[in-house]
Amino acid sequence: MKLLLLLANGFEEIEALGTLDLLRRGEVEVTTCTLNQTPLTLGAHNIAVEAELCLTELDSTQYDGVILPGGMGGSQALAATQGVLELLKDYNEQGKTICAICAAPALVLTAADIIQNRKVTCYPAPEFIEALGDNYLSAKAHTEGNLITAAGPGCFTDFAKAIMDAVAPGTSEGVFKAALIKD
C-alpha cells in the first residue's frame, strides 16, 4: 500500500511528520508531496520540510490513498487547490483511503464534497463542527468506509494507528510498543 502525504505551506508539523514517522516505522510506504513549485514547504511553526515530489510531478495512479495534515494555512491551501480536490474526488470514487486530521476534514473534505452521509471528526472548533454539521463526530480518530479522520495535534498517534490498522492490519501494535512509552 502506497500513500501520499500532501503538504502545503502552513501545515501542522506534528500531524504530518509524527504521522509520517509512525507509518514509516510500520513499513507503510508514504511519499511526501508539496503544492509548491519547489520541494521546500514551510510548516505552521516555521519548520521547513523538503518534500519528495511536487504536485505538478504527481502521477496519482501510483498511490492507494492520501493523507491530509491540518494546520489552518495548509488546510486552506489544500482546499483551494483544484488538483487536490479532483484527486480526492477520484480517490473517493475508487474507494481509496483518504485520511484527514484537524482542520483538514472540515476545510478540505467538505470542499471536495466527499463526506456524503458519513461521520467524521476534526479539531473541535465551533466553525469546523458547524462546517461538518450532522456528519461531525466527537472522537480522537474515526474510520468510516474509506475515510479516516482525527481531531488534532494531540491525536496524531491515534490517527497514525487508525491509518496503519486500515492499510497494514496487524502492524500497529508492534510499532506502537516500540515507538511509544506507555504507562
Position of cell 515507538?
A: 179
Full residue range of the structural domain in which residue 97 is found:
2-179
155 catalytic? Reply is: no
| Structure confidence at residue 72 (pLDDT) | 97
pTM summary value: 0.94
pLDDT digits (tens, 9 = 90+) for 110-150: 999 999 999 999 999 999 999 999 999 999 999 999 999 99
Tally of domains within the chain: 1
Task: Tell me the CATH number at 47.
Answer: 3.40.50.880
Of 152, 114, 166, nearest to 3 by C-alpha is: 166
The single residue of 33, 102, 122, 155 carrying the catalytic annotation is 102
Taking 70 as the pLDDT cut, the residues of the chain under it are 176-183
